[in-house]
Amino acid sequence: MAGKPDRNGRWIAEIFSQNQNINKELVRNGLAWHYKQYSKNDNYAALERIARQKKTGLGKDQGPTAPWQWRKMKKGKSAKVNL
């Protein structure tokens, strides 16, 4: 595992198991999103785009709520809520 803490002290890292990038596998399978505001990684963006096109994982939902939107909603800020 290699990474660094974010501005809130949380660790941001890429996790590998048996030479496989688990982060990329999660995004590829639609089980995680690429947070484009803080990461400009084209590989993750492409994997997310493909997962959405294939309607894999989160892509099956008609209007999934992004984690950052959900956190805003929980803090009482306005955000789109999809249930």
Model pLDDT, residue 26: 96
pLDDT, tens digit, for every residue of 42-80?
999 999 999 989 998 987 877 888 888 888 888 775 545
Name the nearest CA neighbour of 67 among 34, 40, 21, 30. Answer: 34
In CATH terms, the fold of domain 2-74 is OB fold (Dihydrolipoamide Acetyltransferase, E2P) (2.40.50)
The per-residue pLDDT of the chain, averaged, comes to 83
Separation between Cα atoms, residue 34 and residue 43, nearest integer Å: 10
Domain boundaries, the chain: 2-74
Contacting residues for 13 by C-beta, under 8 A, at least 6 apart: 1, 2, 3, 4
With beta carbons less than 8 A apart as the criterion, state whether 79 and 72 touch.
Answer: yes
